[in-house]
Amino acid sequence: MFRRRPSQLRDFVADGGDHPVQAGRYHLYVARACPWAHRTLIGRRLMGLEQAIGVSFVDPIRDERGWAFTGEGHEDPVNGFRFLAEAYLATDPSYEGRVSVPVLWDRERGTIVNNESADILRMLSTAFAPLAEHPVDLFPEHLRAEMEELNKRVYEGVNDAVYRTGFATRQDVYERELRALFQTLDALDRRLAERRFLFGEQPLETDWRLFTTLVRFDSVYQIHFKCSLRKLVEYEHLWPYARDLYQWPGVAETVDFDEIRAHYYGTHRSINPTGIVAAMPVAAFERHHGRG
């Protein structure tokens, strides 16, 4: 059974600590293809932190050497790394954990601050808020307990569930994970029948954590990971909700369907040995959502 290994590098940016809040000091290493990294790109864009925090993109095709900087838009101007693994070894020469994106890098200390997407997204909307050009409160204090509960449910029931389904190697495990995934999607669809976003009229952290899976669902997970019980476009509320989020100012520019599809279909050869990339579904995220 597929089990995601936990992130190991989890320091935090905070005034008074080893990593104080400073414009220009931090850099994000991300993959446009990765839903976990995508969260942080959205947070950076929503907050208006483009001038305060730099970003570099790894190539969507990952081989046995891991995420790589291959040129033509996939470069590392900060350290000149050829592989993201070099950032991990620069932080800890004995590091043997998972080399994953996103990575929040401290340019002054020459080390990784954090490689957990949930932590980084939270920091972008809280610790980095004083540097934001147009800050938004993605984690309102009065909703925090309820949000943490739903964050956990979305992670276990959707974000990670598509992987547990897709990488299942036994029929019974696949069918169990598939049912659990769609039970969660069905419940979220019912919740969205009564409200525009998960907590009301404004999208919050939980919405963006869900969105990065939904935006990949029909083009990748429904086909490649055999999450085939239903398509996103068949949901009465989830489908227009996903379009609403996609059309939120600045968000569409963070979505690269070509890199998303290239990564999944070209990297997971145990699932797709031919490397053929499935055609992009015709249903458009640009279509009016009717929820505003």
pLDDT in tens, 257-269: 999 999 999 999 9
To the query of whether residue 163 is one of the catalytic residues in this protein, the response is yes
Question: For residue 89, which of 261, 145, 79 has the smallest C-alpha distance?
Answer: 79
Burial of 147: CB neighbours in 10 Å, binned 0-12, 13-18, 19+: buried
Mean predicted confidence (pLDDT) in 110-133? 98
Whole-angstrom distance, CA of residue 45 vs CA of residue 68: 24
Confidence of residue 245 (pLDDT cuts 50, 70, 90): very high
Across the range 113-128, mean pLDDT stands at 98
Identify the band that residue 85 occupies on the pLDDT scale cut at 50, 70 and 90. Answer: very high
103-106 and 53-57 as β-strands: parallel, antiparallel, unpaired?
unpaired
pLDDT(79) > 70: yes
Kindly report the CATH class assigned to 141-267. Answer: mainly alpha
Q: What are 94-109's pLDDT values in tens digits?
A: 999 899 999 999 999 9
Give the CA count within 13 Å in the CB-facing half-sphere of 236.
8
What pLDDT is attached to residue 212? 98
pLDDT category at 201 given cuts 50, 70, 90 is very high
Provide the percentage of residues in the chain whose pLDDT is more than 70: 98
pLDDT at res. 1: 63
* 18-31 pLDDT tens trace: 999 999 999 999 99
Q: What is the mean pLDDT of residues 232-237?
A: 98
- CA 255, distance to chain mean position in Å, is 11
pLDDT of 2 strictly over 60: no
Question: Out of 26, 29, 34, 265, which one is annotated catalytic?
Answer: 34
Give me the pLDDT at residue 292, please: 83
26-131 has which CATH code?
A: 3.40.30.10
Q: What share of the chain is helix, strand, coil (3-state, %, to 5)?
A: 40, 10, 50
34 is a catalytic site residue = yes
Q: What is the pLDDT of residue 6?
A: 72
pLDDT score at 137: 98
Average of per-residue pLDDT values in the chain: 96
Active-site annotation holder among 29, 88, 95, 163: 163
Cα distances (Å, whole numbers) of residue 39 to 148, 154, 202, 221:
16, 14, 17, 17
Predicted pLDDT at 8:
82
Domain regions of the chain by residue span? 26-131, 141-267
225-245 mean pLDDT: 98
* Per-residue exposure over 271-287, b if at least 16 CB sit within 10 Å of its own CB, e if not: ebeeeebeeebeeebee
